[in-house]
Amino acid sequence: MTTNITAAVARQTGEPLTIENLDLDDLHPNEVRVKLVATGVCHTDAIVRDGVYPTPLPAVLGHEGAGIVEAVGSEVYTVEAGDHVVLSAAYCGKCVQCRAGRMAYCENLFAEDFGGRRHDGTTALSDAGGPISSHFFGQSAFATYANVVENSVIKVDRSAPLATLAPLGCGLQTGAGAVLNDLRPAPGSSIAVFGTGAVGSAAIMAAQIAGCTTIVAIDLHDSRLELASTIGATHTVNGRTGDVVEEIAKITGGKGLDYAIDTTAVPSVLRQAADSLGIGGTVALVGAAAPGTEVTFEIGASLVKGWTFKTIIQGSSVPQQFIPRLVDLWSQGRFPFDKLIENYTLDDINTAFADSENGSTIKPVVVF
């Protein structure tokens, strides 16, 4: 028996989402029916809407959901009706990477998160015109209800407000996890974060948690840099008005950085990040670029630096383990990501996308 739901549908590449009534099918054995309370708007939603990644349209996007479990499939044992949950990326759980605890690098990532279908080829969503792609990141959370694969579901403390927790599922997990799970800077280290949107802001907060003593925020918006200073940045640089590499050299006393994180995926910015490294430094790319994007690095004078370039997705995290840690850090006041959030209604979802793109809102959250 199908359930009627309201959802934001991406129908045409690059076009605004439309608010529609859809049919949600019955739970499959490995799924959880979640009543959504809120869903964060992420850059990845925008690039899928715009055809950069291959999810078939029409589709219901949304991959930072939070809500309450209404029912569980016959094979689900980790949550039960009434549990409060945050939703994150799906992973197969069976490949070599998943079995090694590297779920973010699941060998079947594109099928699990961007395929728009279950393993059997069905979709949970439809209308009178036919199927609508579902299970985006295992969830498709721009909707009042979703049938979510169990691997995307993380149980959280019922005392924490779900409308606040929603963005933990992707962007905030990515930024914080890049620092705490992957780079793991030693106390006293220096780090720069290029781009202080949601991912970059989370990285700044995580760097402070890790004990970094030089935390440089780089952005084009003074308002974002001002906020960065309140959540952990010790220095700020506006890339529009200053020479970023030169400014970082001054800040580090000519030593260069121990770590740099690029959230922008703009090749010229990534080059700046690499050029700002000191001896033995590491630059990590966490931003998503179109497949085929290339960047050039200087390899002559920098050979003697012994520096490292790496890519990081989903903060190299195990969501079921890392997201509850972030909730604890938030409850202690050490990870104040709620300062980044602006709430929107489902009817205003396209405004939320626009505000995120123009920089006026760091982390839009649709509250149902």
Q: What is the pLDDT of residue 99?
A: 97
pLDDT for the residue 80: 97
Taking only the tens place, the pLDDT of each residue in 147-157 is: 999 999 999 99
Q: Would you state the structure tokens that stand for residue 163, as one six-digit string? A: 């409308």
Identify the pLDDT of residue 262. 98
pLDDT for position 127:
95
DSSP code, position 27: P
How far the first Cα of the chain sits from its last, in Å, is 24
Check whether the bond before 58 is cis (ω within 30° of 0). yes
282-338 pLDDT per residue, tens: 999 999 888 899 999 999 999 999 999 999 999 999 999 999 999 999 999 999 999
Better-scored residue on pLDDT, 242 or 141 = 141
- Non-local (6+) Cβ contacts of 138 within 8 A are 63, 87, 89, 90, 112, 113, 148, 149, 151, 152
CA distance 115 to 138: 10
Tokens coding 341? 């959030």
Q: How many CB atoms lie within 10 A of CB 359?
A: 14
Query: Judging by DSSP bridges, how do beta strands 59-60 and 145-149 pair with one another?
Result: unpaired
* Three-state secondary structure of 199-216: HHHHHHHHHHHHCCCEEE
Q: Where are the beta strands (DSSP E) in 188-305?
A: 190-194, 214-219, 235-238, 257-262, 277-285
In this predicted model, what pLDDT tens digit does every residue of 156-183 receive, in sequence order?
A: 999 999 999 999 999 999 999 999 999 9
pLDDT of res. 242: 82
| Local structure of 90: helix, strand or coil | coil
Range with lowest mean pLDDT among 26-35, 50-59, 174-183:
50-59
- The pLDDT tens digits for 198-212 are 999 999 999 999 999
Looking at residue 54, what is its pLDDT? 81
CA dist 94 and 285 (Å) reads: 26
Sign of the alpha-carbon dihedral angle for 38, 151, 43, 245: positive
Tokens encoding 158? 């019922």
Average confidence score pLDDT of the chain: 96
Q: What is the dihedral of CA 211, 216, 217, 218, to 10 degrees?
A: -150
Q: pLDDT at residue 238 above 80?
A: yes
Domains by residue range for the chain, with CATH: 3-169+336-367 (3.90.180.10), 175-312 (3.40.50.720)
Q: How far apart are CA 218 and CA 240, in angstroms?
A: 10
Tens of pLDDT, residue by residue over 75-115, are 999 999 999 999 999 999 999 999 999 999 999 999 999 99
Tell me if 93 sits within 8 A of 165, measured CB to CB. no
Query: Is the Cα dihedral 225, 226, 232, 234 positive or negative?
Result: positive
State yes or no: pLDDT of 1 exceeds 70. no
Give me the phi and psi of 274, to 5 degrees please: -65, -40
Do residues 36 and 144 lie in contact, with contact meaning Cβ atoms separated by under 8 Å?
yes
CA nearest 67: which of 179, 142, 176? 142
267 C-beta neighbours (distance < 10 Å), count: 14
